[in-house]
Structure 1
Amino acid sequence: MTSSTPKRLRILLTNDDGPPSGVSGHSPFVYPFARALVDAGHDVRVVVPNAQRSWVGKAYLVAEKCTGQYLYVPRDSEDGTGGELRDLPREREEGEMEWILLHGTPATCASIALHNLFAPNSFDLVISGPNFGRNTSTAFAMSSGTVGAAMAAALSGSNAVALSWGLMEGYKPPPPEFLTAASALSYEIVKRLYEVGWGEGEDRVDVYTVNVPLLPSIVEAPEVRWTSMAKTAYGRLFKSTPHPESANASASASAEINKGGPAAVAAPASDEASGERPQGNGTSHEQDLAVKDEHRTERLHFVFAPDIGALINPRLEDLVEGTDKHAIHTGAVSVTPIRAAFMEARAPAGIPADGVKWRL
């Protein structure tokens, strides 16, 4: 670190995958990274959802009460599991980590940690992640609870980083050496970002979103690129299944993703969600807008089952150089500075306007 960088950073760590689950579960990355930060000498506090909360964006469940517990993870734990869960805190034993698990969204965890659990201005840095899966491009980032928690921290005036480790085809699950390299590389990037800073005024960066591909490149010759965020879209995210009370229902009908978000699972067989908008079937407008026949004979029941093969495994010729999506699919780490705002876009060309007035 430079001489201006505090020797011991006060870091708030949160995520959207929940407490440590081990390598085969929904949250395998947060514990090794948390341990790496502690081993590097930093003062780390961990506040995460009590269960997997992927793909909720920056949501707050304002009609629900948020409760929490304390988890004490022993030093000799290999994956962060097996700790003691308590309703009230106790003194930590040597080498033990104290985690706070909240029944809430990732953004809720960030907000409560910054404004309720700890004194004001307690942290130098908020890190959300490492996410179990990538958060490259707008389609993933705008749905991401990892990015959402970092946005919530930024809107509270904190320096925030959203960190994601991308699971790549051919390396699922990633070997241990990838995770060791990802921890070391992520720590170095976060440390350098802290040195660079977030800027001031109109030029301030609210969140740095960092995507690390779990590929041999990060072990052999890691490359880090400054990128912009690729513009992407998705199509079908849900599928219709028989209602649980239906005579056609079966145990296999309730498909759900419980091991990370959609970016953490293998690509589906079809590429229906290519980002293109569905077109009409060539019949009349009334027929186009009619509810499908299948929904007229069965009760409505849908499960989250995204068909996003084109997002997860794009064709290389479709990738735009300089974007986060291009970087991760060519084996490089992407660092993308973003704003915690709905930024304005230019009005479409040809709109009749008189100065700022729109002539309808």
Structure 2
Amino acid sequence: MASKRLRILLTNDDGPPSGPKGHSPFVYPFARALVDAGHDVRVVVPSSQKSWIGKAYHIADKCTGVFYYPPVGSDDGTGGETSDLPRERREGEMEWVLLNGTPATCASVALHNLFAPNSFDLVISGPNLGRNSSTAFAMSSGTVGAAMAAAISGANAIALSWGLMEGWKPPPREFVDAATKVSRDVVERLHEVGWGEGEGRVDVYTVNVPLLPSIQKSPEVRWTTMAQTAYGRLFKSTPHPDSTTSASPAEVNKGGPAAVAAPQGDNVKPATSGDESSSSSSAKKDELRLKDEHRKEKLHFVFAPDLGALINPRPEDLVEDTDNHAIFAGAISITPIRAAFMPAKAPNVQLRL
């Protein structure tokens, strides 16, 4: 049982519980663990997966939602009841809110609309299906985006991500159980450490927990900075649905690209069979010109990122003291950041779980 009962808002970008093989396998067991530790937990999550959406708000859309009641005693939280209005809860039952908005919308609506001001001691976004280490992933992440939205609203925020590591996909149940416990311990310890004040304030702690054998026994915890990374192509040109040569649309793997091992979209049929870098022989050498394929086919692109080197970096590319370096060494990474995507100074505290 926790030493202090915390009032926690839990959100994510993976959506409602899906079971171990779905897009959102981690949020329910983690929520349940927080409740079992004695914390007062309220869950407000998107009604569907919203990975790779950052801190976006769909301001032209109307946001609606329903109440969701996971079955008491469930292993994965699926198969519960939904209701347009809240109802009396049964013993041991949790009440969730599912909104058809972005992760940042969920955080904002929960903090400013669903509950009274200053209701929460802590906002946790996650656990994400897949790591959010390094700038390329963190700045794209709906998990980090929701934590940023909460921080900008003045809340103490943590972005929590569980890294699916090469050779352990899908992760064994015992890894998930261990990550659940250690993540709860990290969250409670960070609340004790605090977020600081003034120029030294930390807006968000972004925590990456690698699902590796090391997580099962007294895992190392490291203060880190965020590795500087980049990505190249994210979208792939494919035949338009109206085209007679249209192929089946590509799908992003569950949890977004950080949750998989290999580049995505290699099985997507290109719009043309020619060299994408070719241009008309009549074009002037230095003239900016559309690729020829886009002059012959309707524009149609699918999210099919080529992220092989980003997901599985070479050991020599891992910079010491960064989040990437830590998780690939089997350690838990805690990166203090500001809501301006600026590094924040780590507290002068030795973390021991």
Q: What secondary structure is seen at the aligned counterpart in 2 of 1:210? A: strand
Q: Residues 270 and 309 of structure 1 are in contact (CA less than 8 Å); yes or no, is this contact kept in structure 2?
A: no
Matched with 2:349 is none
Structure 1 residues 342 and 77 mapped into 2: Cα distance closer, same or farther (>3 Å)? closer
Structure 1 residues 153 and 270 mapped into 2: Cα distance closer, same or farther (>3 Å)? closer
Q: What secondary structure is seen at the aligned counterpart in 1 of 2:305? A: coil
Q: Residues 74 and 95 of structure 1 are in contact (CA less than 8 Å); yes or no, is this contact kept in structure 2?
A: no
Matched with 2:255 is 260
* Pairs within 5 Å for 1:152-301: 152-250=149-247, 252=248, 254-257=249-252, 259-268=254-263, 286=285, 289-301=288-300
* Pairs within 5 Å for 1:20-59: 20-59=17-56
Q: Does 1:118 align with 2:132?
A: no
1:148 aligned residue (134, 141, 145): 145
Compare 230-239 and 219-228 and name the one that shifted more: 219-228
Matched with 1:347 is none
CA distance in 2, matches of 1:247, 1:129: 42
Amino acid at match of 2:132: N
CA distance in 2, matches of 1:312, 1:147: 18
Amino acid at match of 1:319: L
| 1:234-264 alpha-carbon deviations (Å, 9 max, x no partner) | 00000011000011113x2x10215111101
CA distance in 1, matches of 2:79, 2:261: 28
Give the C-alpha shift of residue 220 in structure 1. 3.2
CA distance in 2, matches of 1:269, 1:46: 31
Give the C-alpha shift of residue 341 in structure 1. 1.0
Matched with 2:12 is 15
- The count of aligned residue pairs is 331
Runs of 5+ consecutive residues of structure 1 not aligned to the other structure: 272-279, 345-360
Question: TM-score, normalised on structure 2?
Answer: 0.90
CA distance in 2, matches of 1:281, 1:293: 7
- What is the percentage of aligned positions where both structures have the same residue? 76
Amino acid at match of 2:36: D
Q: Residues 261 and 312 of structure 2 are in contact (CA less than 8 Å); yes or no, is this contact kept in structure 1?
A: no
Q: What secondary structure is seen at the aligned counterpart in 1 of 2:41? A: strand
| 1:136-179 alpha-carbon deviations (Å, 9 max, x no partner) | 00000000000000000000000000000000111111000000
Q: Does 1:78 align with 2:75?
A: yes
Give the C-alpha shift of residue 342 in structure 1. 4.9
Q: CA RMSD in A?
A: 2.1
2:58 aligned residue (61, 84, 94): 61
Matched with 2:346 is none
Compare 127-136 and 68-77 and name the one that shifted more: 68-77
Give the C-alpha shift of residue 289 in structure 1. 2.4
Give the C-alpha shift of residue 193 in structure 1. 0.4
Q: Does 1:109 align with 2:97?
A: no
CA distance in 1, matches of 2:218, 2:5: 28
| 1:9-34 alpha-carbon deviations (Å, 9 max, x no partner) | 00000000000000110000000100
Structure 1 residues 289 and 116 mapped into 2: Cα distance closer, same or farther (>3 Å)? same
Q: What secondary structure is seen at the aligned counterpart in 1 of 2:95? A: strand
CA distance in 2, matches of 1:258, 1:155: 30
Question: TM-score, normalised on structure 1?
Answer: 0.88
Q: What secondary structure is seen at the aligned counterpart in 2 of 1:205? A: coil
Runs of 5+ consecutive residues of structure 2 not aligned to the other structure: 267-276, 344-353
CA distance in 2, matches of 1:288, 1:91: 67
| 1:173-213 alpha-carbon deviations (Å, 9 max, x no partner) | 10000001000110111111000000000100000000000
Give the C-alpha shift of residue 269 in structure 1. 7.9
Q: Residues 265 and 305 of structure 2 are in contact (CA less than 8 Å); yes or no, is this contact kept in structure 1?
A: no
